[in-house]
Structure 1
Amino acid sequence: MQASQVTDKIFRLSANIESDTLFEGIWPLPHGCSMNSYVVKGREVAIVDGVCDWDGVPETLYAQMDEIGVDVKDIRYVIINHTEPDHTGWLKSFQKITNNFEVVITQKGQELANAFYGLDIKYRTVSSGDSIDLGDGMKLLFEETPNLHWPDTMVTFEESTGTLMSCDAFGGYGAIGSSPYDDQLDEEQLRFFEKEALRYYANIVCRFSPSVTRAIKKLEHLQARIVAPGHGLVWRRDPKRIVSLYERFASYFAGPAEPVVTVLWGSMYGNTEKAVAPILEGIASEGVKAIVHQVPQSHISDILASVWRSTGVVLAMPTYEFKMFPPMAAVVDELGRKQMIGKLALRTGSYGWSGGAQRELDEIVERQKMKWQFLEPVEFKGALLEMDRRLLVSRGAELARRVRETALAAR
């Protein structure tokens, strides 16, 4: 990785998380993920956010400082927007090199930094509206954005260039090569990173969507000309594009999402699998898009992204030992944990000597306060019969109609 110039006196440093790593120990990264850090040069030098402490990663950061002519020992301020270790793990290494710096952080951030690292370093706690003048026309303004997605979070805004360094806010998955800026990419490449931003949002941020909405409104007055997150692309040609994308993602929390149905299915011996095709037939008859995931074959990371953008959900799974097909129960529970609420839904599936899947589904939905609105379920004993198939086509069409009407009414 090489350092690059974001704008006058601001530089991007970066390291990529490779595809064999699970982000947060959970989420797969088939296309990797970048960790971005920013150096702001005035008469004094500040670094905004950092990297993890994995082998060789802090050293990558220091080498990139050399590229832009910054001696590590010249850094006066370490700005921590967010204390999560993928942005702060390097501090232990950094302190061994120099002690001539202040850590600029929120009060909650300092509490977390002490808990994670217990370092004997100088802290300067800041609140919304506080600032640091670096000299030579470079001034950093701080705005707290709590619960985006930790309670400690803030953003850093450089006033003269209009650069918003937002850490996890407005971030996304995807490793970054020699083209880290939106003005270096074509539309197809931008759409790839937008898709990775959706998965990142659904995996990491979606539960905190009300905080996202509040933060976007709070930051409007800054009129950022560049958005520089801690993961993903730097947006300097069209910063409103990523802000609007996050605003749209956040809106799915409180109201209908897109006119899309996610179909989740799992099957032991193929009987429930046979219910999927007629449901898809019904959905297609209404001109509504369907996204299909097999459970447990599809990773929960991709399922979350799909369900988050969908107004409708189909759950097709058999009864298993008087309860839900266990992988599907785990998926629905995770959807509840992420507060994917208010979906229109249909449940179907086969059972043998006993039902019971519906009872457990009802329990999970109630416990997680998901507020899903279900059509009448289609449960069948053993193999799928023709009358069941016809009913599933009808139910699929009914769900699609309601999804389309609900989503379009919200626009």
Structure 2
Amino acid sequence: MKYSNVTDGIFRLSAHIHDLLFEGIWPLPHGMSMNSYIVQGKEIAIIDGVCGWDGVPETLFRQFEERGLSVQDIRYVVLNHMEPDHTGWLVPLKQITRGFELVATPKALRLAKSFFGLDESFCTLHPVKSGDRIDLGKGKVLRFEEIPNVHWPETMATYEESSRTLFPCDAFGSFGAIREEAPFDDQLSESELAFFEEEAVRYFANIVAAFSWPVKKALEKIDSLDIRVLAPGHGIVWRKNPARIVELYRRLAEWSTAPTEPEITLLWAGTEPSMGSLVKAAVDGALGEGVPIHVHKVPDTHISYILPSVLRSSGVILGIPYSSDPLPSPLAH
């Protein structure tokens, strides 16, 4: 992978993962990107990072060199979120350099010490809270906003004031690997944007939906910002129309309490001879009324595809053989 210019003085570093279960659970048939960002003023900050396995950190360091920078040039390491897919790279970083300032919420700094041994003997700990700023020089100013439980309790977002770029880490993220030559929304066709939106729905349903109320609180903070570029930890960078992904997340969060889409999800188990006619009758009935219906056979369909379908649907039909006791998994859950 190569670095890419996001906007003046801001660069995206990236790595892709494929052919694994993300967090040991979620299949990634289309892969997933992990994004890290350099903000370059007089001083250099790196915002978030990548995982620590399969040579991924070395990919990040090579992109530093391609940009004409050294890892030793980093003054600030900004950790918006402590999950290992964004912080695993800190282990090899410790072997290369030290003396940087580690910028994070107080909770995140405690986790960094516990996870990676990053304490005052190795680097300067720089706790921040909502409204705090760091001036990098040359007009680049980072401002921090705490957004706890999106989706870990230590999480924050970083906003670069001059370019009006928001770095929200996992918030506004999606599954799906990015084409190296087209990491930005202004480089994608409408069908490609729709793909990443659908992958964002699957990402939200599986990882973030349980934290919909904190997402709503985070959106209240973000609404006060003038966002020209939205640069998440996963997925494409939105610099033509960042409101598109913000409004999608707003709608997804609202689905936890408000009316959802006028659609139905049908989950069924059993065999075709025993259940086929009933499934067909339900599908025909829904379509006859003009209601979209999503059909998933359990356990043939992975739950990561069932959850977004259920999340968006106003109604759910369970098709269960009469003899099923207890309910087949994952219907039981």
Q: TM-score, normalised by structure 1?
A: 0.78
Aligned to 2:25: 26
- 249, 254, 260: which is aligned to 1:257? 260
1:114 positional shift: 2.4
SS in 2 for 1:175: coil
Structure 2 stretches lacking a partner, 5+ long: none
Question: What residue is the counterpart of 1:398 in the other structure?
Answer: none
**For residue 83 of structure 2, what is the amino acid of its counterpart?**
E
Counterparts of 2:111 and 2:201 in 1: how far apart (Å)? 28
Q: CA deviation at 1:179?
A: 0.4
8 Å contact kept, 2:299–2:329: no
List gaps (5 residues or longer) in structure 1: 334-411
2:127 is the counterpart of 1:128: no
Partner of 2:213: 210
Which residue of structure 2 aligns with residue 225 of structure 1? 228
- Asked whether the 8 Å contact 1:73–1:100 carries over to 2, the reply is no
Specify the alignment match of 2:96 in structure 1.
Answer: 97
- What is the Cα-based RMSD across aligned positions, in Å? 1.2
- The match for 2:143 is 141
**Equivalent position amino acid for 1:135 in 2:** G
8 A contact 1:319–1:325 mirrored in 2:
no
Regions of 4+ moved over 3 Å: 319-322
> Structure 1 92/285 Cα, relative in aligned 2: closer, same or farther at 3 Å?
same
- Tell me, what secondary structure is at the counterpart of 1:278? helix
Q: Does 1:325 align with 2:324?
A: no
Q: Which residue of 2 aligns with 1:196?
A: 199
For this pair of structures, how many residues does the alignment match? 329
Q: Which amino acid aligns with 1:119?
A: L
Identity %: 56
- 1:319 offset after TM fit, Å? 4.3
Q: Distance in 2 between matches of 1:282 and 1:319?
A: 21
Q: Quote the Cα distance in structure 1 between the aligned partners of 2:14 and 2:64.
A: 10
Separation in structure 2 between the aligned mates of residue 326 and residue 6 of structure 1, nearest angstrom: 44
SS in 2 for 1:254: coil
Residue 299 (structure 1) shift: 0.4
Give the drift of 1:112. Answer: 2.0
Q: Which residue of 1 aligns with 2:8?
A: 8
Instruction: Tell me the distance in 2 between the aligned counterparts of 1:31 and 1:324.
Output: 31
| Distance of aligned partners of 1:25 and 1:246 in 2 relative to their CA distance in 1, 3 Å threshold | same
Q: Structure 2 CA distance, aligned partners of 1:150 and 1:319?
A: 41
Paired with 2:207 and 2:201, the residues of 1 have a C-alpha distance of 10
How far did residue 271 of structure 1 move?
1.2
Aligned residue type for 2:80: N
Note the C-alpha offset of 1:108. Answer: 1.3
- TM-score using structure 2 length: 0.96
Where in structure 2 are the equivalents of 1:30-179 lying within 5 Å?
30-120=29-119, 121=122, 122-177=124-179, 178-179=181-182
Asked if 2 retains the 8 angstrom alpha-carbon contact of 1:35 and 1:231, the reply is: yes
Shift of 1:96: 0.7
Three-state SS of the structure 2 residue aligned to 1:99 is: coil
- Structure with bigger helix share is 1
Residues 281-324 of structure 1, C-alpha deviation per residue, up to 9 Å, x if partnerless? 21112110001101000000000111111111011112456422
Q: Distance in 1 between matches of 2:175 and 2:325?
A: 39
Partners of 1:49 and 1:309 lie apart in 2 by 31
Change in CA separation of 1:267 and 1:321 when aligned onto 2, cut-off 3 Å: closer
